[in-house]
Amino acid sequence: MRTAIITGANAGLGLQCARALLHVDPSWHLVLAVRDPARGAAAMQELGQPNRCTVLRLDLASLESIRAFTEGVKTAALPPLHAIVCNAGVQVVSGIQQTVDGFEMTFGVNHLGHFALLQSLRGLLTTPARIVVVSSGTHDPSKHTGMPDPAYTSAAELARPGISGDDSDAGRRRYTTSKLCNVLFTYELDRRLDRGAHGITVNAFDPGLMPGSGLARDYPPLQRFAWRFLLPALRVLPAVRSTSTSGRHLARLVSDARFHGVTGRYFDGLKPTRSSPDSYDSAKADDLWQTSQHLIGPPVV
């Protein structure tokens, strides 16, 4: 048996990835890393294989919760850890919110929380191991997704932005910028792991537009209605996918032998492709890494 950790595994893409992993490979034991253990327990029952799942609380908006989660993984008598899926995410459009540590919520959860989590868990990985970071096509202005273009200024400013002129577009821009951070982080982590030379691969994943997912929960009522009931009709378009389809794709990146040794890539579904020009900016990647390391403090030992 081997363990895979999936953040945000109680619903949406994370739940569908868990379902697919359990179905395609009986060797996986899953850690459902969730903010609400009761919802995690419900998800475990829905998956129907409670003997192959462990629910552990993880709030990516709290560095203390990340430290406690890491300790929980160490003491849970799990099979060796071979995969981590950084899936959980938020989109906040109703004004600036902060994590318990004082960071802007979208950056704090979508990037910094996962950065801290991987820094804590890297020493627990057993090779060969795979890390998959869920990003989004909204990080790339050339895709014309209807979302504001990302605006990477500096990681320090993203962590603690000013509040003047804040509106829903600013909130959506913080989201697309956090998704750019996901790709920058993926490539920089891969570089620092010597591009798979030590048996750990790192890839970014674009699940496509998934109507009905929970990312629109902070939108105004009319936009939430459209996201839930009108956008699903667009699934005939190639970039629009159900959570179940994208969950199966994500699970294959975790487990399929076809992707053994593949690292430092950006996948649109199962298709490796180029990410945005900004995502290859080594100066931005270094700034993001160095600032993130400073913000989270010394690593857990």
Cis status, amide bond into 128, omega within 30 of 0: yes
Catalytic residue among 175, 187, 219, 266: 175
Determine the distance from the C-alpha atom of residue 172 to the mean position of all C-alpha atoms in its chain, rounded to a whole number.
17
Look up residue 296 and give its two tokens.
């989270």
Work out the angle at residue 240's Cα, subtended by the Cα atoms of residues 257 and 48, and round it to the nearest 5 degrees.
Answer: 55
- Rounded Cα gap, residues 150 and 148, in angstroms: 6
Using an 8 Å Cβ cutoff, are 150 and 143 in contact?
no
> Please, are residues 80 and 3 in contact by the beta-carbon 8 Å criterion?
yes
Concatenated DSSP letters for 25-52? Answer: -TTEEEEEEES-HHHHHHHHHHHT-GGG
Long-range (24+ apart) CB contacts under 8 A made by 100-105 are 100/61, 100/62, 100/64, 101/61, 101/62, 101/63, 102/160, 103/159, 103/160, 103/295, 104/158, 104/159, 104/160, 104/161, 104/174, 105/61
| Residue 208 burial by Cβ neighbours in a 10 Å radius (0-12, 13-18, 19+) | buried
**Residue 219 annotated among the catalytic residues of the structure:** no
SS3 60: coil
- For residue 260, CA distances in Å to 130, 203, 221, 222 come to 9, 11, 44, 44
What residues act catalytically? Answer: 175
